[in-house]
A and B are shown apart, each in its own frame.
Chain A
Amino acid sequence: MQGKEIRLQGVSMRFGDFIAVHETDLTIAAGEFFSILGPSGCGKTTILRMISGFLTPTTGQVLIGGKDLTAVGPNKRPTALIFQNLALFPLMSVWENVAFGLEARGIGRRERRKRAEDLLDLVALTEHAGKKPTALSGGQRQRVAIARALAVEPSVLLLDEPLSALDLKLRQHMRAELKQIQRKTGVTFVYITHDQGEALTMSDRIAVMNAGRIEQVAPTSEIYNAPATSFVATFVGEHNVFRGRVEGLENGMAQVNTPLGRLLGMNRDDLKPGEEAMIFVRPERIGLVSQTPTLGNRLQAAVERRDLEGPYLNVFMRAGEHQIVMHMTNAGNNVSDLSGEQSVGFACEDALVLRAGELAGE
């Protein structure tokens, strides 16, 4: 099996008056583990269905391995889709499920059985070959679906939130397993999820989508550390947000006038003075001035609540209209006696100034 490159050129999808996916250009490299991350209803499944061939884009082309397959049906594409609900065939045994794609290609029964067993080996289900899928556990069914998709030796495996039905423990286990299968087979994985943890742990690169548009495509660390838009910043991980207007610029930084005073942050969007801006700080980058006196931006805030979450402590504070969240590492002695007015702050390098825009979860 060899992965193939996927290229979307000016692809958009419209259902009646509703535009589910706006014009999009996207290239997914051969053999990459690529995730599409976004809230429910943002068009992730629609993109996946255009790649698999179940939907014909309203505009644009879908190229797989350099070939334009826009008008080619799903049964003729080198892709295999793993459905959100798996869609195993309940009346066939596990091995027949896995061998179904081979059956459709007219391969003899004995050969089918052998190939199916090899694949069941790969997903560690050899002894369940004769069972019906309903007799398996959620994780086992998951692996049957993967084996069934791999049986047709696809160049591209498309996965539509395949883990969403599993419990947390199993989900974490399956993440590792999926990643391993991807490495073993070298197939291009396009993985859809609305769970950022899943996307961040498994993927090489992530595309973050919102309302039919891809907001950012970048390697995982960049998505987390250098979000390109206000939506990505708030959708991936947590952020404290302060709104304001740019007042001045100084060597790559922007000074933003907020209701809580002047705050300084990295001017990633090259904003000019006078423009609406938002300044983003991760909760783990906020600290107490009493512990770190060098912090460039300072605020006065009143502690409202403290939640101990094992390794770290979430401190919820109020400063004027704003709620501020601070994560402190649990070092044993620093977490017990935090209350009242506190002076908190963050370094200018840890703050991000972006053009004012939509936030996730609003």
Chain B
Amino acid sequence: MSSLIRSYGGVLAALFGGLTLLWIIGLIVLPQLNMIQRAFIWEARDGAAQQAGVDLERAYQKIATLDYDIRAAKRDIERGSAPSAAPSPSDPFAVSPGAPSPGGLASSETPDKRIVRLESERTELQGQINPLKERFGRLKIEEAEASGYSIKNFTTMSPLHWRIFGMTIFYAFCVTLLSFLFCYPIAYTIARTQKEIHVAFFMLGIIIPYALNELLRIFAWTMILANEGILNSALDTLGLIDLESGEAIRWLASNGAVFCVLMYTYILFMIFPMYNTIETLDKNQIEAARDLGASTWRIHSRVVIPHAKPGIAVGAIMTFMLSAGSISVPGLVGPGLHPDWFSQIIYRNFFEAGNWNIGAAQSLLLLVACTIFILIVLRFFRVGIQEIAR
């Protein structure tokens, strides 16, 4: 901070500091706190209050319909003409059990009789409104009393969801591991390439796909993996399978496909940090190890990987968090995949079921799992945060 003041002067430094603070508070701290708070607020939803609300709503609707019918009958009288054959706009769904509406069958009635009948129906309904209101209010209060701070959002999660949570963490771990195994040789090769132009080509090849929208990139995979997709067609052309007789291999909607696409989607986040650290390794160290008789395996395990540890840790953490939280990949590549990934369940709680608090609780679980993963990785690689920041 003092160096900031020295280089930019008090006003600018204060501005920078203020903006940073604002950003941290507004975009990180407050939303997180809100989410954590929601996670620990239990919203009781046993359905009784909701049902009462629905009943009340229906009664109001029914009364409005009757009012309409009465007005129509009155108009008929004024005109003195025969009752119109216009069908009653009664809502067939709004019929409450004790009050069957005669609807269009009443065409034989005289308008006067009809008005009397409708009026009596209306009075009866009007009488029901108040008890319904009362019941709804009572249930609401009861519900509000049952709600409040608790860990019920976690404890009431179904065993299936816990299992999905566990599987998602495990899958994300698998993706991270596979991604490392796949990306390490690539990163090493690029880092050891002598000709700048070749490095540029490698990099371009890896970066260009990222110019595409993420959804499109994933969608491209669904085209490759679809039953009538590129991969199956290629196999068909090679004569390995016969598409016509329905031998198509079902690639999509499998965990393998999700793994594969996740790896592809986040490959850059694994390769770049590793490349950056391997690149700084003195080539002579590799040669020295070789000169001392080390096998390729030993050179990597004792010299290259220890040196690249901070990069590997960063890559692993990023890939893990992105995979654990990805919803577009399992959503697009694994439609019909069963069970869902945890992130999809969170998504549904937030945006379909409207259970924000449960969604928040589940997000918090994911956050905690990711944090634990980070700590384990850091411990495992014996790298500190400072080293990573380097």
Which A residues fall within an 8 A CB radius of B? 52-54, 73-76, 79-81, 83-85, 87-89, 91-92, 100-101, 103-105, 148-149, 151-152
Is B287 within 8 A of A101, CB to CB?
no
Is B291 within 8 A of A81, CB to CB?
yes
Stretch at the interface among B127-135, B151-159, B295-303, B354-362: B295-303
26 intermolecular pairs with C-beta atoms under 8 Å apart: A73-B290, A74-B290, A75-B291, A75-B292, A75-B293, A76-B293, A81-B288, A83-B284, A84-B284, A85-B282, A87-B288, A89-B289, A89-B302, A91-B306, A92-B302, A100-B292, A100-B294, A101-B292, A103-B294, A103-B298, A103-B302, A104-B292, A104-B294, A105-B293, A148-B292, A149-B292
Asked if B285 is at the interface (CB within 8 A of a chain A CB), the reply is yes
**How many Å lie between the Cα of A87 and that of B286 in the bound state?**
9
**How many Å lie between the Cα of A105 and that of B292 in the bound state?**
9
Is B292 within 8 A of A152, CB to CB?
yes
Q: How far is the CB of A82 from chain B (nearest CB, A)?
A: 9
Interface string of B75-107 (1 = CB under 8 A from A): 000000000000000000000000000000000
Contacts of B282 in A (CB 8 A): 85, 87
Is B293 within 8 A of A101, CB to CB?
yes
CB nearest neighbor in B for A151: B292
Contacts of A79 in B (CB 8 A): 291
Contacts of B287 in A (CB 8 A): 54, 74, 81, 83, 87
Q: How far is the CB of A18 from chain B (nearest CB, A)?
A: 15
Which of A53, A85, A87, A103 has most B Cβ within 10 Å?
Answer: A87
Q: Which of A88, A91, A92, A152 contacts B293 (CB 8 A)?
A: A152
Asked if B307 is at the interface (CB within 8 A of a chain A CB), the reply is yes
Give the top 10 A-B pairs by smallest Cβ distance, nearest first: A87-B284, A101-B292, A104-B294, A87-B288, A104-B293, A75-B293, A83-B284, A81-B291, A74-B291, A91-B306
Contacts of B294 in A (CB 8 A): 75, 100-101, 103-104
Contacts of B284 in A (CB 8 A): 83-85, 87
Which B residues fall within an 8 A CB radius of A? 282, 284-285, 287-295, 298, 302-303, 306-307
Is A89 within 8 A of B291, CB to CB?
no
**How many Å lie between the Cα of A84 and that of B295 in the bound state?**
23
**How many Å lie between the Cα of A266 and that of B285 in the bound state?**
50
Q: Which of B285, B292, B295, B306 contacts A80 (CB 8 A)?
A: B292
Q: Which of A81, A83, A104 contacts B295 (CB 8 A)?
A: A104
Known A74-B287, A75-B294; 17 more pairs at CB < 8 Å: A54-B291, A74-B291, A79-B291, A80-B291, A80-B292, A85-B284, A87-B282, A87-B284, A89-B288, A100-B294, A101-B292, A101-B293, A103-B294, A104-B292, A104-B294, A105-B293, A151-B292
Q: How far is the CB of B103 from chain A (nearest CB, A)?
A: 87
Contacts of B292 in A (CB 8 A): 75, 80, 100-101, 104, 148-149, 151-152
Contacts of B290 in A (CB 8 A): 73-75
**How many Å lie between the Cα of A54 and that of B293 in the bound state?**
12
Contacts of A87 in B (CB 8 A): 282, 284-285, 287-288
Q: How far is the CB of B102 from chain A (nearest CB, A)?
A: 91
Contacts of A148 in B (CB 8 A): 292
Contacts of A83 in B (CB 8 A): 284, 287-288
CB nearest neighbor in A for B282: A87
Which of A52, A75, A83, A105 has most B Cβ within 10 Å?
Answer: A75
**How many Å lie between the Cα of A149 and that of B164 in the bound state?**
55
Which of B282, B285, B292, B307 has most A Cβ within 10 Å?
Answer: B292
Is B303 within 8 A of A89, CB to CB?
yes
Q: How far is the CB of B267 from chain A (nearest CB, A)?
A: 27
Contacts of B307 in A (CB 8 A): 91
Contacts of A92 in B (CB 8 A): 302
**How many Å lie between the Cα of A1 and that of B266 in the bound state?**
53
**How many Å lie between the Cα of A74 and that of B292 in the bound state?**
8
Q: How far is the CB of A219 from chain B (nearest CB, A)?
A: 29
**How many Å lie between the Cα of A91 and that of B288 in the bound state?**
14
CB nearest neighbor in B for A75: B293
Contacts of B291 in A (CB 8 A): 52-54, 74-75, 79-81
Q: How far is the CB of A7 from chain B (nearest CB, A)?
A: 20
**How many Å lie between the Cα of A280 and that of B123 in the bound state?**
134
**How many Å lie between the Cα of A101 and that of B302 in the bound state?**
12
**How many Å lie between the Cα of A299 and that of B291 in the bound state?**
57
Q: How far is the CB of B75 from chain A (nearest CB, A)?
A: 95
Contacts of B306 in A (CB 8 A): 91
**How many Å lie between the Cα of A41 and that of B291 in the bound state?**
23
**How many Å lie between the Cα of A79 and that of B290 in the bound state?**
11
CB nearest neighbor in A for B298: A104
